[in-house]
C-alpha cells in the first residue's frame, strides 16, 4: 500500500474558509442529523485525502450518494481507525498527541458519540489545562475553544496519513 502525507496546512485553510458557511459543492446535512462530520470529511479531502469508493469506504458524490462514514460520527470513526485501504487513516490518541488537522469527537450522553470537530489550533503544550481551538458545522464555529463545550465523553483522533 502506498502512502502520502496529509497536508494539514491545506486542511486548515479549507476549515477557515468554510467553517462559518457552506461550500455549495456539498450537501448541507443540518436538517438531517447535522453537518459536522461532513464538514470534517471535507476538510480531510481538502488536505489531500482520497476517497475510498468501496462498500464500506469513505466517499462523497452527492447528498444522496455518499458513504455513511462521510457524514456519520460513529461510521467516520470506525472507518478512520480501521482503514487499511485507500483513503485517510488514523488512530485514537491521548490529548497530548493532538495537533492542527486532527479530529475530536464528543458524546453528549448514552454510549455513542454525536459531534465531530476539526482542530484548527493549539496553544502551548496541549494537555488538559491548555486550549485547543476547533472548527465545526451544525453549530458553526471557527477558532472556538474546546473548553467551551459541555460533554460526557471525548475522543481524539490523530490523522496519520492517506493511503493511495
The whole-number pLDDT of residue 111 equals 86
Q: How far apart are the first and last CA of the chain?
A: 7
The whole-number pLDDT of residue 127 equals 58
Number of domains forming the structure of the chain = 1
The whole-number pLDDT of residue 129 equals 57
Q: Which ranges in 68-129 belong to alpha helices (H)?
A: 68-71, 73-82
The whole-number pLDDT of residue 9 equals 98
Q: Which domain holds residue 13?
A: 3-163
Per-residue pLDDT of the chain (164 residues; tens, 9 = 90+): 899 999 999 999 999 999 999 999 999 999 999 999 999 999 999 999 999 999 999 999 999 999 999 999 999 999 999 999 999 999 999 998 999 999 999 999 888 999 999 999 998 765 555 689 999 999 999 999 999 999 999 999 999 999 99
pTM, entire model? 0.96
DSSP 11-54: HHHHHHHHTTS--TTS---GGGT-SHHHHHHHHHHHTTPPPB-S
* Angstrom distance (rounded) from CA 154 to CA 107: 6
The whole-number pLDDT of residue 128 equals 56
Amino acid at each position: 500500500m502506498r502512502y502520502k502525507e496529509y497536508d494539514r496546512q491545506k486542511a486548515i485553510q479549507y476549515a477557515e474558509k468554510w467553517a462559518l458557511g457552506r461550500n455549495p459543492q456539498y450537501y448541507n446535512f443540518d436538517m438531517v442529523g447535522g453537518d459536522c462530520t461532513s464538514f470534517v470529511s471535507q476538510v480531510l479531502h481538502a488536505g489531500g485525502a482520497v476517497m475510498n469508493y468501496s462498500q464500506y469506504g469513505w466517499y462523497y458524490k452527492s447528498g444522496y450518494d455518499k458513504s455513511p462514514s462521510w457524514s456519520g460520527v460513529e461510521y467516520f470513526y470506525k472507518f478512520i481507525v480501521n482503514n487499511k485501504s485507500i483513503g485517510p487513516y488514523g488512530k485514537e490518541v491521548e490529548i497530548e498527541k493532538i495537533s492542527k488537522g486532527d479530529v475530536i469527537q464528543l458524546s453528549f450522553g448514552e454510549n455513542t458519540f454525536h459531534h465531530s470537530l476539526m482542530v484548527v489550533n493549539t496553544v502551548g503544550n496541549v494537555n488538559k489545562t491548555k486550549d485547543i481551538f476547533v472548527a465545526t458545522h451544525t453549530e458553526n464555529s471557527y477558532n472556538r475553544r474546546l473548553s467551551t463545550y459541555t460533554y460526557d465523553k471525548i475522543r481524539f483522533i490523530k490523522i496519520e496519513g492517506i493511503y493511495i
